[in-house]
């Protein structure tokens, strides 16, 4: 149930985010979720795409600095308290959430959030034992091709 996240390091200057997104479009790679974090000199674009391995190769061939890591994609009830329900499960298991950001599309009527957790295997076990649904990389890819 792991999903691959790409982190792309960009100079903090006009046009660099456009160049990144244009390159992905030219490579027929669909962005499913994206979060941009910046500071004075550079930015980090964290994203989940439909074809992560192809995207990494495609971007590196075009001079982008790319890193990959595992994240999890969790269905969260799209209602008040939905996120608290998931976060309570993490609290009970003493799992620390490093960061989270939303997926662009719903799945089965639920919101989907990307979570970066230090111990991904423990998080997967805790959540699946509690009946919380995680999406696979294939499901992320299929969402974007519908």
Pairing label, strands 97-102, 111-117: antiparallel
Q: How many residues are present in the chain?
A: 146
CB 66 within 8 A of CB 7: yes
Fold agreement (2-68, 71-145): yes
2-68 carries CATH number 3.30.2130.10 = yes
Task: Give the integer Cα–Cα distance in Å for 42 and 127.
Answer: 35
| pLDDT recorded at residue 42 | 87
What are the phi and psi torsion angles at 17 (to 5°)?
A: -65, -40
Write down the pLDDT at residue 145: 57
Top CATH class, 71-145: alpha beta
The pLDDT profile of the chain, 146 residues, written as one tens digit per residue, is 899 999 999 998 899 999 999 999 999 999 999 999 987 788 999 999 999 999 999 999 999 999 999 999 999 999 999 999 999 999 988 899 999 999 988 888 899 999 999 889 989 998 999 899 999 999 988 875 55
pTM of the model: 0.89
Q: What is the pLDDT of residue 39?
A: 79
The reported pLDDT for the residue numbered 104 is 86
Please report, for the chain, the start and end positions of each structural domain, with discontinuous segments joined by +: 2-68, 71-145
Contact between 56 and 67 under an 8 Å Cβ cutoff? The reply is no
72, 90 contact by CB (below 8 A): no
Comparing CA positions, the residue from 138, 111, 109, 133 lying closest to residue 3 is 138
């Amino acid at each position: 149930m792991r999903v691959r996240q790409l982190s792309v390091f960009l100079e903090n200057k006009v046009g660099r985010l456009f160049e990144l997104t244009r390159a992905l479009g030219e490579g027929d790679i669909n962005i499913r979720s994206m979060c941009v974090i910046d500071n004075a000199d550079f930015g980090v674009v964290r994203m989940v795409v439909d074809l992560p391995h192809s995207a990494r190769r495609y971007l590196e061939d075009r001079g982008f600095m790319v890193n990959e890591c595992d994240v999890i994609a969790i269905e969260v009830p799209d209602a008040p308290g939905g996120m608290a329900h998931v976060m309570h499960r993490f609290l009970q298991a003493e799992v620390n959430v490093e960061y989270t950001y939303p997926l662009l599309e719903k799945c089965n009527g639920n919101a989907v959030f990307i979570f970066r957790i230090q111990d991904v295997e423990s998080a997967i076990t805790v959540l699946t034992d509690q009946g919380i649904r995680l999406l696979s990389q294939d499901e992320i890819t299929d969402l974007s091709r519908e």
